[in-house]
Amino acid sequence: MMRARQILRLLYINYVLARHGLDDIIFEIHLFRPFRFLIYLMPWNWVSRNRAPRGQRIREALEELGPIFIKFGQMLSTRKDLLPEDVAEELTALQDRVPPFDGALAQALIEKAYGVGVDEYFDDFNSVPLASASVAQVHTARLKNGKEIVIKVLRPNIQPVIKRDIALLYIIAKLAERYSKDARRLRAIEIVQEYEKTILDELDLMREAANASQLRRNFETSQQLYIPEVYWDYTRRNVMVMERIHGEPMANIEKMKAAGVNMQRLSELGVEIFFTQVFSHNFFHADMHPGNLFVDISNLDEPEYIAVDFGIVGTLSPEDQRYLAENFLAFFKRDYNRVAQLHVDSGWVPAGTRVDEFESAIRSVCEPIFEKPLKDISFGQLLLRLFQTARRFNMEVQPQLVLLQKTLLNIEGLGRQIYPELDLWQTAKPFLEKWMNDQVGVKSLLRGFKKNLPYMAEKMPDMPELVFTAVKKIAEGENYQQQADVLKSLNKNIENNNKKLSYVLIGLSGWIVAAIILGQPIEVHQQLLNAPVLSWLSAFVGSVFIWMGLKKY
C-alpha cells in the first residue's frame, strides 16, 4: 500500500499540473478518466483566464516537480517529430536553462567540501552560474596557475527529492504490472530499477569525473570528439573541477549554418561517434542532448564535437554488442528472417515463436522506412509500431538496453535538427560491417591468442603436478571414476595443447623461412627459382599451420 508521504506526493503532482492549467493531463490518466467531468466543476475553470502558452506551462510544471520530471522533459525536447512544435521548442529550455539556485549557497557548498575558502584554491570565482541543470549547476573560476576552469556543484538536498520520486515510480510500476499485461511484458519494475541506478550514479561527481577521464582516453587521438580534462586534486563527491571549453552550443544550429559549417559532416560525425562508443569502446555517453554538446568550428569543413556532463554512461555485454550489431546489419540488408531468428535465439521472444510469422510482422513495420532520408524517418514512431507488433509475440523489453535506446533517440533528434537529409543507414552500415569483420576475422583470432597466451604460459608448468595429484588420488582409491575422468580430460588437454603448439611452431618456421629467403642478397635470389613465389608460399603454409593451432582458442 502507498505510504501517506507518497500519496501526498502524488496529490502534489496533480496539484502542480492543475495550477499550471494542465487539468486535462490529469484526467487523461486511466485511473481518473471516469472523473473527467470534474474539470468543469473546478472554480478556476468557471471564468476565462489569460494563460501562458501551453508549452511554457508544461515546462514550468516540470521544473517545479523536480529533477526526474526535468530529465523526462529533456528527452522529449529532442523529439520534435513526436510533439507539437510549440511544446518541443519550449522544452529545449530544460537542456541548459533550468532555474539556478543561489550562488552564495553554491559557494558555501564548495567551501564545505574543501574545508577552506574558495580563494584558497581559485581566482576569479564567479558566483553567477554559467549554466544550471536538473541536479547541479556550473560556476567559472581560474586555478592559481591561470588555467580557466568550471566548477560543478550538486544542488543542495537533491538526493532525498530523487529518492522520494523514485519510490513513487516503484509504486506506479508495481500497480501497473499487477493490473496490466502490457506493463508486465514491458518489465516496468526493472526499467525503474535501471533508471534508479542511473540517476543515483549522477549524484556522485567522483564517478562522473572517472567517466569523463575514460571517455577522454578513448578519444585521445581522435578528431571527432573532445573531452575536457578533469582536475582530480579539486574533485570531491559533490564538487567536480574540469577544464573550461569554448565552442558553439549545439543549439545554435542556425548560427553554425550561417557561418558555413559543413552540417552534413557534423550530422554524420554524430552517428559515427555513437557507433564508435557503443561497439569499438563499449562505453558510451548516454545523455547526448544539445545542452551537453558544443562544436569546435575553427575548421568549418571538419567540425569537432565537444561533450560535457558525463553523469550517465552506458556499457553492453559482449553478447548484447554482437546481438545488436547483427540486428542492425540484418535490418540494413532487409534480412527480416535473420532479425526474427536473432530475437528467438536471444530469448527476447519465446522459444516456440514461429519465425516466419514474426518475420512477416517485422517486415510490415520496417520496410516502409528504408531508402528514406532521416527527415522522413521517425524512430519514435517505429518503436511504437514495434511495441504493438511485439505484443502479439510476447516480446519483452530488455532493461539493460534502455540507456542505449535513449541515446539512439537523442542522436536521431540531433541529426534531424542538424541535417535532415542525413542517410542514417549508409553512414552506419560500413562501420558495423567493419566491426563484425573484426570480431570474426583473423584479427579477432590473434587478439584471442594474445589475450590467452599469458594464462596458458602460467598454467603449463602446473600441468605435471596436476597429473601427478590426480594419479595419486586414483591410486589411493578416492573417487575412482571421477578422478579417472579428470585424468583423461587432463591428458587430452595436454595432447591438444602440444598438438596446437606444434602447429604454431611449424607455422612460425614457415614465416622465418620466408623472411630468410627475402633477406638474401640478389645474387642468391638469382640462384633460386622464383624466390618471391617460394617466400610467399612458405608464408602462406606457415599461416595455415598457425591458424590450425589457434582456431580453437
Q: At 159, which helix (H) or strand (E)? A: helix 158-179
CA neighbours closer than 13 Å in the CB half-sphere of residue 195: 22
- Choice among 23, 96, 165, 287 that is catalytic: 287
**Exposure string over 382-393, b if 16+ CB within 10 A, otherwise e:** eeebbeebbeeb
Q: Which residues contact 422 (CB under 8 A, 6 or more apart)?
A: 264, 267, 268, 271, 373, 374, 415
> In Å, how far are 323, 335, 367, 474 from 355, measured between CA atoms?
17, 12, 17, 51
The pairing of beta strand 131-132 with beta strand 148-154: unpaired
**376 catalytic per annotation:** no
The residue count for the chain: 553
The pairing of beta strand 225-226 with beta strand 248-249: unpaired
**Separation of alpha carbons 303 and 266, rounded Å:** 6
Q: Which residues contact 525 (CB under 8 A, 6 or more apart)?
A: 531
- Measured over the CA atoms of residue 38, residue 39, residue 45 and residue 48, the dihedral's sign is negative
Say whether 220 sits in a helix, a strand or coil.
coil
The H-assigned helical ranges of 219-298 are 253-259, 263-275
By CB neighbour count within 10 A (0-12 exposed, 13-18 middle, 19+ buried), where does 172 fall? middle
Q: Which residues contact 244 (CB under 8 A, 6 or more apart)?
A: 140, 148, 149, 150, 228
Q: Are 361 and 395 in contact (CB under 8 A)?
A: no
Q: Which residues are catalytic?
A: 287
